[in-house]
Amino acid sequence: MPDTAPAPVLRADRPGSFPHGVLAERHPAIIRQVRESIPYDPERRRALDALLANCTEGVVEPLPADAHDLGDWQDWGLADHIGRSWFDLPWLWSESYFYRRLLHAVGYFTPGPWQGIDPFRPAKLTELDAPQTDEELAALDALANRPADERSRALLHGSLWGNRADLGFRLSAEGAGTRAAAPALVADDSETLWSLLPPAAEGGTLCLVADNAGRELVPDLLLIADLLDRGRIARAVLHLKPHPYYVSDATTADVLDALRRLTAAPGTAAGYGRRLWSALTDGRLTLRAHPFSGGPLPYAEMPDDLRAEFAAATLTVVKGDLNYRRLVGDRRWPATTPFADLTAYFPGPVAALRTLKSEVVCGLDAGTEAALTAAEGERWRTAGTHALIQVKV
């Protein structure tokens, strides 16, 4: 990352820290949730129990010699981490490898009856089919007759806030796009974002790197549909995870579930669903699941083919907290470190849409950081109650 002195890599070795809590408490809770939500056979349940003991008290173990992605993980540093405590490794790597080991435990990649069964699917569907989703989709009806620019701003904020999309829809519609439309924004480069996607743009391509499934993926799809409808892009490429990851990260199956939810909804939502379905069938919307999307490294280390895809895009929008960590580097940057400095390596214009759910943050002015810390201590970094829109041209 040019011209920026590296900050310490985030690790989970400090008790009481946010990363330590994720490895020591959240990961065991995830294993228990998976055991309870799917009636795995005794072999799978024993494997989950073994993973629970290993990830809290043991050391990193290798993948099986016949693992289909062993070569990828070797390229991603597996040999350097085997035999070490999960808590002593870079946090991003530890988290990613935990999910890979969980998929191994449940037989996701192993030929047999459990192959391809998403261990997180019950939780994803419960959220997608919740009554709150109907309320959020109903907000689209209120936006249908609003001016096009106002509607687009509302959908951008819906995508930003994810499963608080109803808040984004209402406030953006009422605020007519003013900064008061999202008072919890700690950085807002939305005008720069819109300048990169001018009305009636010819031939532009948007790459959107998705984050979560369910009620957070639906607003991403709505934003893509709106940009296609308005001619602000000619084509969209939606980057997904190649397999279940971080509990709720979106896969191709999750896109299909979201489209089912949209097309079955009443009112305006169904129209969006049909247009997205059409865009998939005629190629204006393409799904991409690159192996690197499920890897443990920052985007600064992306492979050449992925770099070429992003270089060719009019704009790449990177969604969510995990992707933000991968975009700027999972390090203890001073919050005032310029976003453009940390993303200078990125091969084209890039925008981050993210609610703050981990310690990594950059691009804030000193006054904003001071006010947040004075009001909330360090909790503002991880509570998910603040968000940002940052752009590097």
Of the pLDDT bands very low, low, confident and very high (cuts 50, 70, 90), residue 85 is: very high
Question: What local confidence, expressed as pLDDT, does residue 301 receive?
Answer: 98
CA distance 73 to 328: 21
Distance CA 215, CA 208 (A): 16
Are the C-beta atoms of 217 and 273 separated by less than 8 Å?
A: no
> Model confidence at 4, in pLDDT bands (50, 70, 90)?
low
Q: How confident is the model at residue 150 (pLDDT cuts 50, 70, 90)?
A: very high
Phi-psi region of 187 (alpha: psi -120 to 50; beta: other; left: phi over 0): beta
pLDDT in tens, 16-36: 999 999 999 999 999 999 999
Q: 168 pLDDT band (50/70/90 cuts)? A: very low
Whole-number pLDDT of residue 3: 59
- Per residue in 205-247, pLDDT tens? 999 999 999 999 999 999 999 999 999 999 999 999 999 999 9
Element (H, E) at 91: helix 91-105
Supply the pLDDT for residue 201.
65
Distances (CA, A) of 45 to 27, 41, 103, 152, 387: 16, 6, 12, 47, 38
User: Residue 286 has what pLDDT?
Assistant: 98
Provide the percentage of residues in the chain whose pLDDT is more than 90: 89
Q: How many CB atoms lie within 10 A of CB 224?
A: 26
Q: Which amino acid is at 115?
A: Q
Mean confidence (pLDDT) of the chain: 92
- For 202-215, how does the pLDDT look when each residue is reduced to its tens digit (9 = 90+)? 789 999 999 999 99
8 A C-beta contact, residue 236 and residue 205: yes
Residue 169 has pLDDT above 80, yes or no: no
- CA–chain centroid gap for 215, Å, is 12
Name the pLDDT band for 363 (thresholds 50, 70, 90): very high
What is the pLDDT confidence band of residue 342, given thresholds at 50, 70 and 90? very high
Structure token digits, residue 57: 């008290």
Residue 170 has pLDDT above 50, yes or no: no
pLDDT at residue 181 above 50? Answer: no
pLDDT in tens, 49-64: 999 999 999 999 999 9
Q: What is the pLDDT of residue 163?
A: 56
Contact (Cβ atoms closer than 8 angstroms) between residue 269 and residue 137: yes
Print burial letters for 10-41: b (CB count within 10 Å at least 16), e (below 16): bbbeeeebbbbebbbeebeebbeebbeebebe
123 within 8 A of 33, measured Cβ to Cβ: yes
Name the pairing type of β-strands 387-392 and 350-355. antiparallel
Is 70 exceeded by the pLDDT of residue 173? no
How does residue 177 score in pLDDT terms, banded at 50, 70 and 90?
very low
Q: Which of 134-143, 149-158, 343-352 has the highest mean pLDDT?
A: 343-352
Q: Which contiguous run of DSSP H or E holds residue 236?
A: strand 235-239
Q: Using one digit for the tens of pLDDT, what is the confidence trace for 297-310?
A: 999 999 999 999 99
